[in-house]
Amino acid sequence: MDTALEVEDLTFRYRRDTPELFDHLTHAFAPGAVTALTGASGRGKSTLLYVLGLMLTPGGGRVILDGRDVGAAPDAQRSHLRATRLGFVFQDSQLDPTRTLWECVCEPGLYADGPQGHWRERGLELLDQFGLGEHARSTPIQISGGQAQRVAVCRALLVDPGVVLADEPTGNLDRSNAEAVLEALSSTARSGCTVIIATHDPFVLEHADEVVAL
């Protein structure tokens, strides 16, 4: 089933003396599509991802996941949702250089339900799917930046999340590698996932199904 994610009347500020970022944003993010968040630096693109990803609590309004207001849910519930329903891709991939790529991909399985053997098998399947199977036992320093970002996408998909949140995933990549990462995210969306990308990259904006300007 597609995951429904929306915000209603959303507000946030880091401190009382800092600007309000979202100006009572109301928006429903489309399942099965790539939504790009754009806007000038400081407008809160990354912050919105962290609010949607339940890592920050909104100042006002609601974050609604499958009909439930979860934006201000108890910490234990938010942690469980992050582990089982949400996937994250960061700008610099954030792979542990001391682990193999396979181990990096399987990391979310440590916090999710189910036997570890299942997650290890799933991790290999994802690496194969994204053309990285032969590098499973390599470490992050042995692969390119573009390959590392594809590994980060694999890690985000390990638990079959309904929502994938990506923060400037092509920001440090050349065009060829950016295309590969964007295709991986687009393929994820075509499978029914809600994919939301915070970006300055015109290439991403051109290929997004929807653009939300902050």
pLDDT for 178: 87
CATH topology for 5-213 is: Rossmann fold (3.40.50)
pLDDT in tens, 52-109: 999 999 999 999 999 999 999 999 999 999 999 999 998 888 999 999 999 999 999 9
This prediction has a pTM of 0.91
- Answer whether residue 144 shows pLDDT above 60: yes
Domain boundaries, the chain: 5-213
- Answer whether residue 115 shows pLDDT above 80: yes
Per DSSP, which regions of 33-143 are E strands?
34-38, 60-65, 68-69, 86-89
Residue found by looking up tokens 């949607």 in the block: 52
- Answer whether residue 1 shows pLDDT above 70: no
Confidence band (pLDDT; 50, 70, 90) for 181? confident
pLDDT for 135: 96
CB-CB contact of 4 with 67 (8 Å): yes
